[in-house]
A and B are shown apart, each in its own frame.
Chain A
Amino acid sequence: MDPAQLYLVAIDRDPEEAAQIARATAKRLENKELILLSLTKSLGEYLTNDDRTIRAKAIGFYATVLTALPPSLLSPAQVSVITQFLCDRLEDEAGLKEVCHGLLAIAGMSRFQPEDAQMVARSIFKSCDLLKHPQGSRYLVYQVLDKIMSEQREALKRMGADFATGYVELVTNEKDPRNLMIIFSNLKVIIIEFDIEDCEEQVFDACFCYFPITFKQPPNDPYGITAQDLKDRLRECLQASSKFAVFLFPQLLEKLDSHSANTKKDVLQTITACALAYEKSIIANYWSTLWDAIKYEVLNASDDDLAFEALDAIRAIAKSLSAKLTTVMRTSSLDKYLKAVTKECLTQLRNPTAKQAKPSASILAAVAVASPVSHATTIQAVLPGLSTTYDGLEEIAKQRSMLQAILPLFDATAQIYGVWGDVEHPPSLNNSLEAFKDNLFEIYSRALMGSAKEEVSFRLAGLNGLTKMSRIKNFFADNEIGLIVQFFDEVVLTDEKDEMRDTALESLLVLSRLKPSLIMEITFPAFMAKLPDREEHEKSYDMTLSALAQLSVERPVFQVLLTRIFNKLNIVLNNKSGPGYPFALLSSILYVLRRKHETGKDISTHYTRIVPELITRTVTPLCNGSGGNALSNEAVLEVTGNIVSLIIRAMDVEKQTEVVGELFKIFVAKTESGIITSDKELVAKEFGPLDEDTTPQQASTIIIFASAVAAIRREVTLPVDNLQQFVEKLIARSRSPKSPGHRRALLRLLAVIINKYFTTPEDRAFLTQSTDEMWELVKSADSPEAASSLPALFWIAKALALRNDKLADPIVGRLLELLDNQALGVAVGRGFEVLLGDDPLLSKENFAVVRLLSQQKLFVFCIPKLVEGFKVASPAAKKNYLHALSSIIRNVPSKLVLAEINTLLPLLLQSLDLEDSGIKTASIDTLSVTVTEATGLVSEHISSLITRLLAASSPNEVNTVKVRTAALRCLSIFPSALKIDVVIPYKRQIMRALLKPLDDPKRSVRKEAVDCRARWFALGEPKEDD
């Protein structure tokens, strides 16, 4: 059998075997064991077969053989013969795909000649009627053309208009996105490189008929072609030749009247692209028609997005007309264009409060950023007119609108001429805005400083104008900006309007980056002087401190801030201040440190300045028998602790070892420490916060100690001989705390130490033993007070659970059992808050061992036991379980709760019947998440849920504002989250029931009720889709 026959037999049965036969044949040709002529001849009988599939397969064989041949094997004559042969076969519709494969192979041969390429092109144009073929075959035809265009482009160019017209006719009616991608890229080559003078319109039409692209990418599209890909390729064709302008612009503008926002957007983007790509002389012919049409899209925009695109187009035209211009030229097309634009906009701006004023201002800014020349022309054309108009305006509202309308021009100027600190060279053309500098400075300053205090938006316009102008490089002189900074200082310090102060402060922050020295010299002293010397109402210092803190992130400024704040703190404490003001002073230091840390700065270097100072000042006054001062207030101690903790955390092991040694000397060992800067001996003698008989104030300083130790790295060994004894001491103190804050600090410290250091078998055995002992005591207690070890058990369990330690399980298990206990159940329920909540000290940042999923493991451990316990619990105890559940769900991500929602939902529903506002709020919050995330389940329980939520929305002792708000908010999610047929039956009931909350005594609740009712009202109404 000859190979062709073998191939035909094999192809249907085993394509791989068939391919093998073809490859073997190719090999034989290569080795001259077979001659090409006889191979071609052997196909003869199959090619005349009546069965089209046999004809196709025979060509398939031939193509596969060709593909397998080395590209340099065939002589020019052979290539030509084969090309001719294949081109003839194009007339047979049956084997189009296979012929194309052959053509692709032959076009890849190194001796493929220019004439061959022309022959292929002509034959395809003549013989192929692509409408008859599926998209896959058409794809191959386009590939062949693409191939010959890249192999023999010059030869095809010599065909003149024949190639372009042939191509265009061939692809008419093509709709397949993958094919269009090839066609567009070929058309682009044709437009740019081929001589299409005689058939421009035809080629243009072939492209433009696809505009606008409305293709929507189908789901699971194997080719991954998006509408945007097609739009981009098509646009590249349209912008490829300036000669298209004559056809393109009129048709585009026609389509701009379309109702579809998508089409409009496409039109505007295409205009922008073409304006930038076409020659200037072409745009000079069209700017007038374009401007007339596009301006409408800005002035009457109903959609910001479209207005934005239209502004882009307006800017692109100015940019195109600016080409090669270096100075303002009165006869240039740019000048004519800008005359038209500025005239129209100035007219609109004569009435600055009218709706079209603001868009007009945006247009002016858009053309002003197109180029330096365009900027100069625009500024010179509009500013005199705007000033005159402004001077004639009498209403403040109009003056305000005018000032606002000019603002975008300042931004445009900053874009062209840069802001302070920019390194790029400014344009050679002088900044035209400079001529108006003094006048603008005066107008905007007067608006800010010289108008009535109530005119907030007018003054804001003044403020914004000054800020924007101050940014422009080389515009204002330093003394002018200095004056502006003084204005802003005054606003921040004295203005009664929040909005004014906030904006002025933001402006100072902007200027602090551009002109830092001015802020240091002017703002800082002014603000410092404003801080009072004794505690007054918080209003007298809060904004000033906040402003100082925000301005002090840079190191030199922060050093100054520290000195001033510590001085102030001295004065304030001497004046017998309450805790509020010292708290604020220290918080501002904490704020700056946090900001510095967040921005990646090393804050450990601030240790020497801050930590000894703060600890000495806190501790020393407690050693002379007095009750100390405001620094020993627990809230202030907490801030001090946070500051110390943040700084120590940033230190390395060596430095930490040193610091922790000193800290233990002060708080534990009662020996002299270098940290204490005055009265060292006195402190060593009198300060014993861990002594049993210590004062409450001394005891509370453990808050600082706990925060500091929590920040120590695990590699650092704590300086105590026997850590177990130390832990026992902490537990003992926690049984008789001086205050809740004291106990919490002790237990946190305990938890930190256990979590980080108690890992040896001996230590773990110690823990087992001591928790067993504690359990015995707790179990038999008859009141929460008697169960004094209960809190410690929770904290120990937490420390262990965080590192996924198995020792936690028995402790937690026992605590869960206690929920049944009449006397302790409530306290235990609350304790779960500690167990699952995030603690700022026991964190990864503080080097605690926090294992992945530890919270989830704990949750999964607790929930089934909780649910089981609830089922069998006495009615009185059920409440405790719900308390515990509430403590848990409030402290874990809703994702975890949702995973168990099937078992939890009944409990959540029951907890809505409890007389406890806190639990109710927590449950409703969880349910709110559930409604969107577990729609199926909620749908099953919808009736009882709605009843309970409606009940929770009516005011009484338990249903506080928070409960009512949460209930209404939850109800308002239903209509959009659940299937319409599930919710619609309740619409009437709800609409009626919600009439009551509409009359709630509280405004905020009424607001929720209104929103909720509006959502239910809209349910099932016909929606109008735009």
Chain B
Amino acid sequence: MSDIINANPTILNPSDLPTRHSESRKKQSSSTHIADKISRLPNSKSLLYDPFSSSPGDDSAYSSGGSEDDDEEDDDETAEDIDEQEIYDLISTISDPEHPLSLGELAVINLPHIHVTHGQPTPQNPHPMSHVLVEITPTINHCSLATVIGLGVRVRLEQALPPRFRIDVRIREGTHQSTDQVNKQLNDKERVAAACENETLMGVLSNMLATCK
């Protein structure tokens, strides 16, 4: 292991990291689960499910064949836009290259520093570009790994976002001594492509991205 640049960074508690509220209900602990089991009336499809009583025209009474985890009623109609929290969830689980901690825990990635702008579709341009800006905060202002972290964020987003997104990864103003230089590297297509050809670098990146959930 080479010398560690910041051996003792400040870390956030995982339970204090921002999460989507609806999801906290899904990963319930046992007692919430028991509460649900006790108090939630089974819907007529599951508990009293009878394969022989099909409602007319309903060709697929199969959809809840009594299996346990079927009660999450997925509403197929409403669309959910890609928002800041979703971007946060994509990149906050990337590992730091020198600590076994995530970028979220190290506060390198912060929800308020992510901005998503959706283009409004017009008749002339039915598929407008959307834009995502991520500002990263290095743990110390001379962190030479800032570029690698930025590159990791960029690669992750390029893999995970649909092509209509323009991705902008920057170092947050005033948090690094050579902000401009790093920003230039991170948003230069040629340089990013060249970096992705470098096997050692890609090895480091794939380790960082291996923890993405």
B28 neighbours in A (Cβ, 8 Å): 498
A351 neighbours in B (Cβ, 8 Å): 8, 10
Given the known interface contacts A400-B13, A740-B48, A831-B52, the answer about A1014 and B160 at a Cβ–Cβ threshold of 8 Å is: yes
A860 at the interface (CB under 8 A from B): no
Q: Would you call A584 and B34 a contact (CB within 8 A)?
A: no
Residue of A nearest to B82 (CB): A1006
Encoded as 1 (CB less than 8 Å from any A CB) or 0, chain B from 166 to 209 comes to 00000000000000000000000000000000010011101101
B29 neighbours in A (Cβ, 8 Å): 498-499, 502, 506
Which of B30, B35, B53 is in CB contact (< 8 Å) with A543?
Answer: B35
B163 at the interface (CB under 8 A from A): yes
A417 at the interface (CB under 8 A from B): no
CB distance from B196 to the nearest CB of A (A): 11
A999 neighbours in B (Cβ, 8 Å): 162, 164
Q: Would you call B38 and A584 a contact (CB within 8 A)?
A: yes
Which of B10, B59, B90 is in CB contact (< 8 Å) with A353?
Answer: B10
Q: Would you call A580 and B41 a contact (CB within 8 A)?
A: yes
A999 to B4 CA separation, bound complex (whole angstroms)? 39
B207 neighbours in A (Cβ, 8 Å): 1024
A502 neighbours in B (Cβ, 8 Å): 29-32
Q: Would you call A1014 and B209 a contact (CB within 8 A)?
A: yes
Q: Would you call A541 and B79 a contact (CB within 8 A)?
A: no
A1018 to B212 CA separation, bound complex (whole angstroms)? 13
Encoded as 1 (CB less than 8 Å from any A CB) or 0, chain B from 40 to 60 comes to 111000011011111000011
B61 at the interface (CB under 8 A from A): yes
Encoded as 1 (CB less than 8 Å from any B CB) or 0, chain A from 805 to 835 comes to 0000000000000000000001100110110
Which of A356, A501, A587, A831 is in CB contact (< 8 Å) with B39?
Answer: A587
CB distance from B7 to the nearest CB of A (A): 6
A141-149, A424-432, A546-554, A865-873: which one contacts chain B? Answer: A546-554
A921 neighbours in B (Cβ, 8 Å): 63
CB distance from A305 to the nearest CB of B (A): 12
Encoded as 1 (CB less than 8 Å from any A CB) or 0, chain B from 1 to 43 comes to 1001001111111011000000011001111101111111110
Q: Would you call B10 and A584 a contact (CB within 8 A)?
A: no
B47 neighbours in A (Cβ, 8 Å): 635, 638
Q: Would you call B8 and A355 a contact (CB within 8 A)?
A: yes
B35 neighbours in A (Cβ, 8 Å): 542-543, 545-546
Interface residues on A, range: 35 or more
A790 to B51 CA separation, bound complex (whole angstroms)? 11
Q: Would you call B206 and A1024 a contact (CB within 8 A)?
A: yes
A741 to B39 CA separation, bound complex (whole angstroms)? 20
Which of A538, A922, A961 is in CB contact (< 8 Å) with B62?
Answer: A922
Q: Would you call B54 and A830 a contact (CB within 8 A)?
A: yes
Given the known interface contacts A886-B62, A1014-B212, the answer about A354 and B74 at a Cβ–Cβ threshold of 8 Å is: no
A999 to B81 CA separation, bound complex (whole angstroms)? 9
B133 at the interface (CB under 8 A from A): no
Encoded as 1 (CB less than 8 Å from any B CB) or 0, chain A from 962 to 989 comes to 1000000000000000000000000000
Residue of A nearest to B50 (CB): A740
B99 at the interface (CB under 8 A from A): yes
A506 neighbours in B (Cβ, 8 Å): 29, 31
A479 to B100 CA separation, bound complex (whole angstroms)? 44
A587 neighbours in B (Cβ, 8 Å): 37-39
A295 at the interface (CB under 8 A from B): no
Q: Would you call B202 and A1021 a contact (CB within 8 A)?
A: yes
The SS class assigned to the B binding surface is loop
CB distance from B3 to the nearest CB of A (A): 11
B114 at the interface (CB under 8 A from A): no
Count A/B pairs, Cβ under 8 Å. Answer: 201
The SS class assigned to the A binding surface is helix
Residue of B nearest to A1010 (CB): B160
A744 at the interface (CB under 8 A from B): yes
A890 to B59 CA separation, bound complex (whole angstroms)? 17
Q: Would you call A833 and B65 a contact (CB within 8 A)?
A: yes
Q: Would you call B4 and A918 a contact (CB within 8 A)?
A: no
A300 neighbours in B (Cβ, 8 Å): 4, 7
Which of B4, B24, B39, B41 is in CB contact (< 8 Å) with A546?
Answer: B39
B116 at the interface (CB under 8 A from A): no
B202 neighbours in A (Cβ, 8 Å): 1021-1022
B71 neighbours in A (Cβ, 8 Å): none
Given the known interface contacts A635-B42, A830-B51, A1001-B79, the answer about A549 and B34 at a Cβ–Cβ threshold of 8 Å is: yes
A591 at the interface (CB under 8 A from B): yes
B11 neighbours in A (Cβ, 8 Å): 353-355
Encoded as 1 (CB less than 8 Å from any A CB) or 0, chain B from 78 to 117 comes to 1110100010001000000001110000000000000000
Q: Would you call B65 and A550 a contact (CB within 8 A)?
A: no
A638 to B35 CA separation, bound complex (whole angstroms)? 18
B68 at the interface (CB under 8 A from A): no
A829 to B25 CA separation, bound complex (whole angstroms)? 36
B199 neighbours in A (Cβ, 8 Å): 1022
B125 at the interface (CB under 8 A from A): no
A588 at the interface (CB under 8 A from B): yes
A1018 to B209 CA separation, bound complex (whole angstroms)? 10
CB distance from B210 to the nearest CB of A (A): 8
B119 at the interface (CB under 8 A from A): no
Q: Would you call A1013 and B159 a contact (CB within 8 A)?
A: yes
Residue of A nearest to B53 (CB): A740
Which of B37, B48, B53 is in CB contact (< 8 Å) with A634?
Answer: B48
A164 neighbours in B (Cβ, 8 Å): none
B61 neighbours in A (Cβ, 8 Å): 830, 918
Q: Would you call A1002 and B80 a contact (CB within 8 A)?
A: yes
A827 to B100 CA separation, bound complex (whole angstroms)? 56
Give the residues from 59 to 95 in chain A that come closer than 8 angstroms, CB to CB, to chain B. none
A834 neighbours in B (Cβ, 8 Å): 51-52
A541 to B35 CA separation, bound complex (whole angstroms)? 9
A353 to B24 CA separation, bound complex (whole angstroms)? 25
Which of B39, B60, B209 is in CB contact (< 8 Å) with A545?
Answer: B39
Q: Would you call A743 and B52 a contact (CB within 8 A)?
A: yes
B60 neighbours in A (Cβ, 8 Å): 916-919
Q: Would you call B62 and A741 a contact (CB within 8 A)?
A: no
A177 at the interface (CB under 8 A from B): no
A837 to B206 CA separation, bound complex (whole angstroms)? 44
Q: Would you call B66 and A919 a contact (CB within 8 A)?
A: no
B209 neighbours in A (Cβ, 8 Å): 1014
Which of A546, A790, A827, A1014 is in CB contact (< 8 Å) with B54?
Answer: A827
B161 at the interface (CB under 8 A from A): yes
A184 at the interface (CB under 8 A from B): no
A536 to B41 CA separation, bound complex (whole angstroms)? 13
A830 to B52 CA separation, bound complex (whole angstroms)? 7
Q: Would you call B51 and A588 a contact (CB within 8 A)?
A: no
CB distance from A956 to the nearest CB of B (A): 10
Given the known interface contacts A1014-B159, A1022-B203, the answer about A1003 and B100 at a Cβ–Cβ threshold of 8 Å is: no
CB distance from B129 to the nearest CB of A (A): 13
B50 neighbours in A (Cβ, 8 Å): 740-741, 743-744
Encoded as 1 (CB less than 8 Å from any B CB) or 0, chain A from 519 to 547 comes to 00000000000000000001001110111
A846 to B52 CA separation, bound complex (whole angstroms)? 25
Residue of B nearest to A1024 (CB): B203
A505 at the interface (CB under 8 A from B): yes
Q: Would you call B8 and A591 a contact (CB within 8 A)?
A: no
A300 to B5 CA separation, bound complex (whole angstroms)? 12
Residue of B nearest to A991 (CB): B159
Q: A499-B15, A743-B52, A1013-B160 are in contact. List 4 more A-B contacts (CB 8 A).
A: A545-B38, A546-B32, A741-B50, A998-B160
A selection of 5 A-B contacts at a CB cut-off of 8 Å is A498-B24, A499-B15, A918-B61, A921-B63, A961-B76
A contacts, CB < 8 Å to B: 259, 300, 302-303, 351, 353-356, 397, 400-401, 404, 456-457, 460, 498-499, 501-502, 505-506, 538, 541-543, 545-547, 549-550, 579-580, 583-584, 587-588, 591, 634-635, 638, 740-741, 743-744, 784, 790-791, 826-827, 830-831, 833-834, 837, 886-887, 890, 916-919, 921-922, 960-962, 995-996, 998-999, 1001-1004, 1006, 1010, 1013-1014, 1017-1018, 1021-1024
User: Top 10 closest A-B pairs, CB basis?
Assistant: A918-B62, A546-B35, A1001-B79, A999-B162, A542-B39, A740-B53, A1024-B203, A740-B50, A584-B39, A830-B51
